[in-house]
Chains A and B, each alone.
Chain A
């Protein structure tokens, strides 16, 4: 069966510091991968998606970037965090052509 991992689970970072969040998927090949953010009291906003290694599409201009160095690895990064980057970050995957996206456990980021 497929599983998706995210780490760390919680992160507290000062403003201006760098960020690296990692997501890995097991049990599937060539998945579509997604990064979402849920701000406090709001819905899920799609940040980035990837249909293959090295292929990244950005949905919202912002302070963040994403990379996919391996087939089942998706990384969310920032060079300098802003206060507004605080939120709950979720990684998701789906098999190409299938209907459902499946989410990881999430990373809670607090920027102080």
Chain B
């Protein structure tokens, strides 16, 4: 049973436009969500996170929205730049105490076209 799902394996966006990446989860115990960016043959890089007590968190060009009732979160990148082309993973955890095990989605490959 996949608790975190990214239903779009790929997304293509024009440079300068908005990129919207989506993520759905099923476990209502998840209370912390993160987005990572990954280039080929490299480790994931942390982008932005959000606690379940918030519905929005913004950091520069990146904004994450959380809709708890729909168990859905999204990452908005605006404006999109060629360097944003990568695979994006969303991840979720239940509680920060103890081990904090992250559950990852399958990833969405974002391609920014010039």
Q: Which residues of A contact B (CB under 8 A)?
A: 6, 32, 34, 36, 42-46, 49, 51, 57, 59, 88, 90, 92, 94, 97-106, 108
Contacts and interface: CB of A to CB of B under 8 A. Distances in A.
Given A99-B49, A100-B46, A106-B42, A43 B107 contact: yes
Looking at B41, B43, B99, the one whose CB has the most chain A CB atoms below 10 A away is B43
A51 B99 CA distance: 6
Interface of B: 6, 32, 34, 36, 41-46, 49, 51, 89, 91, 96-107
B95 to A, nearest CB: 10
Contacts, number: 60
A105 B46 contact: no
Is chain B's interface secondary structure helix, strand, loop, or mixed overall? loop
Given A44-B91, A97-B97, A105-B42, 19 more contacts: A34-B102, A36-B104, A43-B89, A43-B104, A46-B103, A49-B99, A51-B98, A57-B99, A59-B101, A90-B44, A92-B43, A94-B100, A97-B96, A98-B96, A99-B34, A101-B100, A102-B46, A103-B43, A106-B41
